[in-house]
Amino acid sequence: MVVPNQDPGGVPPAEGRSLPEWHTLSPEEVRRELGTGTAGLSAKDAEERLQRYGENVLREEARETRLQVFLRQFASILIVILIIAAVVSFFVGEPQDAAAILIIVVLNAILGFSQEWQAGEAIEALRQMLVQRAVVIRDGKQQEVDASGIVPGDLVVLEMGERVPADISIVEATSLEVDEAPLTGESSPVDKAPGPLPPGTSLAERSNMVFAGTTVVNGRGRGVVVSTGMKTEFGLIAGISQRVRAEATPLSRQMDILGRDIGLIAIGIAALAVAVGLLQQREFLEMFLIGVSLAVAVIPEGLPAVVTLTLAIGIKNMMRRNCLIRRLPASETLGAVSVICTDKTGTLTRNEMAVVRVRTPGSEVAVTGTGYAPEGEFLRDGSAVNPLEDPGLRQFLRAVLLCNHATLASDDENGWRIFGTPTEGALVVAAAKAGLSREGAPEAVREFSFNSTRKRMTIIFRENDGDVAYVKGAPEVLLSRSSRLFLDGSVVPITEDLRDTLRRELGEYASRGLRVLGAAYRPLPAGIEWLPASIGWTAETVEEDLIFLGFAGILDPPRPEAAEAIRLCRSAGIDVIMITGDNPLTASAIAQELGLSSEGAMTGADLEAMGDEELERRLRTTKVLSRVTAEHKLRVIDILSRERAVIAMTGDGVNDAPALKKASIGIAMGIKGTDVAKESSDMVLVDDNFASIVAGVEEGRREYDNIARFTRYLLSTNVGELVAIVGGLLMGLPLILIPVQILWINLITDGLTALALGLEPAEQDVMQRRPRAPDESILTRSAFLVILILGIWLGLLTIYVFSGLYEVDLDRARTMAFTGLIIFELYNVLNFRSFRFPLHQIGFFSNPTLLLAILGSLALQVLVVYVPVLQDFLGTASLTLADWGLLALLGLPVLLAGEAYKILRLRSGREGPDAGETQAPG
């Protein structure tokens, strides 16, 4: 006896033998390999194997604790710099500065933690999806056991409606069909039957195997367990998910680079200032304080909090557009997406099979309607017809309704639903659209069940004129067993020419990606008693000399809005690639109907035969990938990443989990998606609507534009502070701004207006431009130039205000400089609403929150200037009304110059930013 490798440590099966490919073995060979008899395992043998190979469960990856998730919020370089600044401020005798910085840092961490705690539960969801109970045969007796106690070699009983507990090789099957969509992506139930298959048969085509996590939707069977726990196909995906690490988002990478650069600049400027002051023979303590002030001025303390709050607000906006964001940076990442790898079943299609065409010997009709609601029309040459007035169509629909086990039902909570296989359900719905039902149906007296070998099923009914056998199955099989056909209400002999015509049309249906089912019938001699032992009357003898009725084309129809969504993706420069476990004909047909241009389709086998360079080249023109596995999806993402693509992966099944985790942003379906897919994703589509992705992209692009706006705005104000302090130092002036005043500007004044900038509406052409490059810096060359010019202007104005007053009254001069810089910055923030369009074009009141933020900042500054407690805290003195008027007049040119620049730029035809930049300010 050779038991398969189930040992967690990877011990060979026995004496170095390799693990067999179970699908290549016959039932007898499987039993022999696993030492399983017709009575199953003995209780003792089962217990020994359980001890040796472990429970039939998935091993969990160690999850982060709450503390680990919270501490991870401090991993940003900019946050580390802020913490260092707080420590330095404390030790130089500025505890209020240190406290203010630390409060901002902690609040930022709490907000990030609250958004991310539910991440990383994919393995737990996988474990919970395994069935809890299963029926096995041990010691010759059928018994129910905990599924975790199933071992290799167990003989398992499979019944309709049950979830498969492990990977099993089929030894017996009667009409056995399994829904494998969560594992392989196959949209239709798969017929299962015993018998060996060739080596290399793909997972989706292993008809002699059933896999853990899939569901039996029809028939019954028995099989021998060949793999359990982490060795199942289900478990292998869990293992892949554990090994895959989430990719850093483009924004997080950019902010880390920005934080590093700002930190180096802060240290350099502070050190240089201290050195210059010492050369001027100033006191060391004074220069150290100036150095700290410069470092505080360079670092935009409010930036991390504003980014976090803006992303959190964006998450709420996306939820209103049916995009549930699970990880904070993902909302912005969606705006950078350049490739969407989308599943077909349930994402681009409805995951509801429907009859779309019916071909009878006399005519062909199209069938309209979506979903399982019995609403739709039968169209011949575009005109509606009554199917009950067409004898051939009526007889066909009656036959597929009677030779059928599916039922159609509705309720207020779930609407119309099908109980049974989706394919049979589609036929029942088509009959219901014609007004047919089983009410008053004749008595069924015998059934010959469907299996993958016979490719047909028969139910015999006792009707008034005698017994009638109704047969449903593969049309080519029924045609070969038919000698007559039903034409214009009469039964006529079938000619070879007509048989060839029907076969040719059958091939055309298949080439369109339709699943095709045929129907036939045969009146039987009266008086037959349909007993199991009836002599002579078997399936073979009943299912001959049939009268052919026609065939139906069945399709999982595309979502009505999916075609428009793909068109919008194309206009936004986003490439769409369909990746599905379904067959290539069906996938290509759906792609064509949706307007997804592709040079043919590639299968998983094609991918395995290609090198990386060839696959990279093919992916530029071939946008349909079928019969792919989890490993194939990961390879495709890796290949696309080489071209610096930002990849979104949509999916709903277990097989999608690793790719969802690996992609730049994983998007799971909210309604039809498995828990595994949802927990592995960054975003969940609440309505399963592909079009919602487009809305999410628009929101993501708006978010990034606004983050770029307020980042550049904050840096311009910090340059102004830096110029004021350094300029005053070089001119031999006293310290113009003390550290606590700089902190007030950076955290309160700039923080309010920057956050309001984060609510700026999207520009009208946001979805008509190509995605930004993932390595594009927020600080482009032109943006840096604008920041530098405006910052120098603000700083020189501040020096001008201070230099005329400090010799008379230092406190009043410092208050004028402090207040003046705030007023100048409030003018400046209006410049950053757009660097493409002037205010009158974007609408002065189109962002009312910003106007409120400006008024709020002014109100707070009034309090700071006149409230005694705040005067003591911030070192301010009272100002006159004339002082306020003077500062308002001095700052006005800052706004007027920005408006003049934008108007001149529009008139010269330079409406967009420089090449390679986003259309955010600068």
pLDDT digits (tens, 9 = 90+) for 167-193: 999 999 887 888 887 777 666 688 888
Phi-psi region of 120 (alpha: psi -120 to 50; beta: other; left: phi over 0): left
Give the pLDDT mean for 34-52: 90
What is the helix (H) or strand (E) element at residue 471, kind and residue range?
A: strand 466-473
Contact (Cβ atoms closer than 8 angstroms) between residue 302 and residue 750: yes
Given a cut of 80, whether residue 778 has pLDDT beyond it is: no
Quick one: pLDDT at residue 173? 87
* Sign, Cα dihedral of 778, 780, 786, 790: positive
Say whether domain 72-112+248-272+284-322+695-763+775-907 belongs to CATH 1.20.1110.10. yes
Residue 755 carries which side chain, given as an amino acid letter? L
How do the domains of the chain map onto residue ranges?
A: 22-60+126-243, 72-112+248-272+284-322+695-763+775-907, 332-349+559-688, 358-553
CA distance 255 to 141: 65
Average pLDDT over all residues of the chain: 81
Among 101-110, 815-824, 844-853, the least confident range: 101-110
Superfamily of domain 332-349+559-688: HAD superfamily/HAD-like (3.40.50.1000)
Q: Using 50, 70 and 90 to split pLDDT, how confident is the model at 644?
A: confident
Tell me the catalytic residues: 343
CA distance 691 to 347: 10
**655: nearest Cα among 682, 671, 637, 676:** 676
Q: Using 50, 70 and 90 to split pLDDT, how confident is the model at 280?
A: confident
Structure tokens of 843? 């609408």
Give the pLDDT mean for 617-635: 88
Say whether domain 358-553 belongs to CATH 3.40.1110.10. yes
Environment class of residue 845 by beta-carbon count within 10 Å: exposed (0-12), middle (13-18) or buried (19+)?
Answer: exposed
Among 126-135, 187-196, 368-377, 635-644, the least confident range: 126-135
Quick one: pLDDT at residue 849? 92
CA distance 619 to 612: 10
Quick one: pLDDT at residue 181? 74
Quick one: pLDDT at residue 357? 95
Q: At CA 777, angle to CA 771 and CA 778, rounded to 5? A: 90
CA distance 716 to 916: 22
CA distance 254 to 45: 59
Give the pLDDT mean for 878-896: 94
Given a cut of 70, whether residue 78 has pLDDT beyond it is: no
Between 317 and 529, the higher pLDDT residue: 317
Structure tokens of 109? 């961490």
Contact (Cβ atoms closer than 8 angstroms) between residue 577 and residue 625: yes
Q: Using 50, 70 and 90 to split pLDDT, how confident is the model at 565?
A: confident
Given a cut of 80, whether residue 550 has pLDDT beyond it is: yes
Q: Using 50, 70 and 90 to split pLDDT, how confident is the model at 4?
A: very low
**HSE-up (13 A, CA, CB side) for residue 724:** 36
Q: Using 50, 70 and 90 to split pLDDT, how confident is the model at 627?
A: confident
22-60+126-243: CATH topology is 2.70.150
Give the pLDDT mean for 367-375: 89
Quick one: pLDDT at residue 488? 85
Tens-digit pLDDT profile for residues 325-367: 877 677 778 888 999 998 887 778 877 889 999 999 989 999 9
Tens-digit pLDDT profile for residues 260-273: 677 677 777 777 77
Percent of the chain with pLDDT over 70: 82
Contact (Cβ atoms closer than 8 angstroms) between residue 703 and residue 332: yes
Three-state DSSP string of 372-411:
CCCCCCEEECCEEECHHHCHHHHHHHHHHHHCCCCEEEEE
CA distance 493 to 59: 63
**270: nearest Cα among 821, 739, 811, 794:** 739
Quick one: pLDDT at residue 654? 67
Quick one: pLDDT at residue 921? 34
DSSP strand E in 560-714: where? Answer: 575-579, 602-603, 624-626, 647-651, 665-669, 683-685
Strand-pair category, 490-493 with 209-210: unpaired
Given a cut of 60, whether residue 913 has pLDDT beyond it is: no
Cα–Cα distances (Å) from 786 to 61, 781, 783, 805, 835, in that order, read 49, 9, 5, 30, 10
Quick one: pLDDT at residue 65? 67
CA distance 36 to 4: 13
CA dihedral 138, 143, 146, 152 (to 10 degrees): 30
Quick one: pLDDT at residue 197? 92
Given a cut of 80, whether residue 230 has pLDDT beyond it is: yes
Give the pLDDT mean for 765-785: 80
CA distance 374 to 213: 31
Q: Using 50, 70 and 90 to split pLDDT, how confident is the model at 277?
A: confident
- For residue 402, count other CB atoms closer than 10 A to its CB: 21
Given a cut of 90, whether residue 863 has pLDDT beyond it is: yes
Q: Using 50, 70 and 90 to split pLDDT, how confident is the model at 121?
A: very low
Quick one: pLDDT at residue 187? 62
Q: Using 50, 70 and 90 to split pLDDT, how confident is the model at 668?
A: confident
Give the pLDDT mean for 690-716: 86
CA distance 148 to 235: 13
Given a cut of 50, whether residue 922 has pLDDT beyond it is: no
Quick one: pLDDT at residue 374? 93
Quick one: pLDDT at residue 451? 66
Q: Using 50, 70 and 90 to split pLDDT, how confident is the model at 856?
A: very high
Given a cut of 50, whether residue 916 has pLDDT beyond it is: no
What is the helix (H) or strand (E) element at residue 310, kind and residue range?
A: helix 303-320
Give the pLDDT mean for 451-462: 84
- What is the value of pTM for the model shown? 0.66
DSSP 737: S
Environment class of residue 201 by beta-carbon count within 10 Å: exposed (0-12), middle (13-18) or buried (19+)?
Answer: middle
Give the pLDDT mean for 41-68: 79
Among 106-120, 251-265, 514-528, the least confident range: 106-120
Quick one: pLDDT at residue 123? 34
Contact (Cβ atoms closer than 8 angstroms) between residue 329 and residue 310: no
Quick one: pLDDT at residue 854? 94
Percent of the chain with pLDDT over 90: 30
Q: Using 50, 70 and 90 to split pLDDT, how confident is the model at 420?
A: confident
